[in-house]
Amino acid sequence: MPGSGDNGRIVKRDVDSFVPGKAAPAAPAAAPAAGAPAPQVAAFAAIGEESFNEVPVSQMRKAIARRLSESKFQAPHFYLTMEINMDNAMAAREAINKISPAKVSFNDMVIKACAMALRQHPDVNSSWRGDVIRYNQHIHVGSAVAVDEGLIVPVIRFADQKSFSQIAAEAKSLADKAKNKKLQPNDYSGNTFTVSNLGMMGIESFTAIINSPDSAILAVGAIKEIVVADKGQFKTTNVMKVTLSCDHRTVDGAVGSRFLVTVKNFLENPVNMLV
């Protein structure tokens, strides 16, 4: 055991503090000497070879690509995001489904809220037609459905006039027809507004490309439980983020914002959609 004196010399205090049988402290690991060779790593041996598979583009995928490209690059998009408290909507849905002949989803409630908001904000229920802007008097809400070949948008016609259960039954019927490739052209045309919901996939928020010829599309995220402060106390609440994509040729920021506030008010107070 080295001493505490100069150059490890044992001095009186080392003798006085010596404890028989006590292990000496381990010496620190020596740093590798400068210029020492690096540890050898086994060489990587690739298994297999580079490969790929090419699949011909279907007519449906070509049509989707063409329409979305035209929309994205011709319509000047801007985006408005808002957080909506869904506590009342969750309670209302549970009560509705106790008596509804068709199971109502949150997406059905969003469709209804958008349809009623469009009634109050007709500028959003429009389309750019070059020399004119068309303001639609009817409200047909498209609801995006994912199928094997891509994305298709069945349309709920006159959605503002339909009940939750009527929207739910029609949306389910159209989604089933879409997945079974039984949609007719009239089922996925004529939309004046579109809702795209990825909440069931766990996506919290996203932006969507406007579904031409609409002026706007609402991207709906998942409902998430969060902790908030309320009058000095902490509590949990359920929120959902939505993002409105707008065509700036027809919808200005203030117009889109007012529409989104109305959607928020309907979803946070669902009873207002029943009167």
Using a 10 angstrom Cβ sphere, with 0-12 exposed, 13-18 middle and 19 or more buried, the burial of residue 146 is middle
CATH of the domain at 258: 3.30.559.10
> How many domains does one find in the chain?
1
pTM of the model: 0.82
What DSSP string describes 27-85? PPPPPPPTTPPPPP-PPP---S-------PPPHHHHHHHHHHHHHHHHS-EEEEEEEEE
Confirm whether 137 is domain-assigned. Answer: yes
Confirm whether 118 is domain-assigned. Answer: yes
Confirm whether 18 is domain-assigned. Answer: no
Confirm whether 31 is domain-assigned. Answer: no
Spatial separation of the C-alpha atoms in residues 154 and 50, rounded to whole Å: 40
Confirm whether 255 is domain-assigned. Answer: yes
Confirm whether 69 is domain-assigned. Answer: no
Confirm whether 21 is domain-assigned. Answer: no
C-alpha to C-alpha distances, 65 to 93, 159, 171, 208, 211, nearest whole angstrom: 36, 27, 24, 14, 12
> Is residue 225 a contact partner of residue 238, using CB atoms and an 8 Å limit?
yes
What are the pLDDT tens digits along the chain (275 aa)? 666 666 667 766 776 776 666 555 555 556 666 667 778 898 888 888 889 999 999 888 898 899 899 999 999 999 999 999 999 999 999 999 999 999 999 999 999 999 999 999 999 999 999 999 999 999 999 999 988 878 899 999 999 999 999 999 999 999 999 999 899 999 999 999 999 999 999 999 999 999 999 999 999 999 999 999 888 889 999 999 999 999 999 999 999 999 999 999 999 999 999 88
Confirm whether 59 is domain-assigned. Answer: no
What DSSP string describes 112-169? HHHHHHHHH-TTTSEEE-SS-EEE-SS--EEE-EEETTEEE--EETTGGGS-HHHHHH
248 is catalytic: yes
Spatial separation of the C-alpha atoms in residues 230 and 228, rounded to whole Å: 6
Could you tell me the residue range of the domain that residue 214 belongs to?
Answer: 77-273
Active-site residue (options: 14, 77, 123, 248): 248
140 is catalytic: no
